[in-house]
Amino acid sequence: MTEKLVPGLYIVATPIGNLADLTIRAADILSRADVIAVEDSRVTAGLLRHIGVKRPMIPYHDHNAEGMRPGLIARMASEAVALVSDAGTPLISDPGYKLVRDARAAGHVVVTIPGPCAAIAALTLAGLPTDRFLFAGFLPSKVHARAEAIAEIAGVRATLVFYESGQRLSATLAALAEGLGERECGVAREITKRFEECVTGTLSALAERYADAPPKGEIVIVVAPPGAPAPATQDDADTALREALTRLPTSKAAGEVAKALGLDRRELYARAMAMKGE
Instruction: Report pLDDT digits (tens) over 12-38.
Output: 999 999 999 999 999 999 999 999 999
Of residues 179 and 2, more confidently modeled: 179
pLDDT beyond 70 at 230: no
pLDDT score recorded for residue 79: 98
Q: What is the mean pLDDT of the chain?
A: 93
pLDDT band for 197, please (50, 70, 90 cuts): very high
Instruction: Report pLDDT digits (tens) over 124-177.
Output: 999 999 999 999 999 999 999 999 999 999 999 999 999 999 999 999 999 999
pLDDT beyond 90 at 265: no
pLDDT score recorded for residue 231: 64
Query: What pTM does this model have?
Result: 0.81
Span 75-85, average pLDDT: 98
- CATH architecture for the domain at 8-116: 3-Layer(aba) Sandwich (3.40)
The domains spanning 8-116 and 119-223 adopt the same CATH topology: no
Domain 119-223, CATH 3.30.950.10 — does that match? yes
- What are the sequence ranges of the domains in the chain? 8-116, 119-223, 234-277
pLDDT band for 10, please (50, 70, 90 cuts): very high
Pairing mode of beta strands 159-165, 218-223: antiparallel
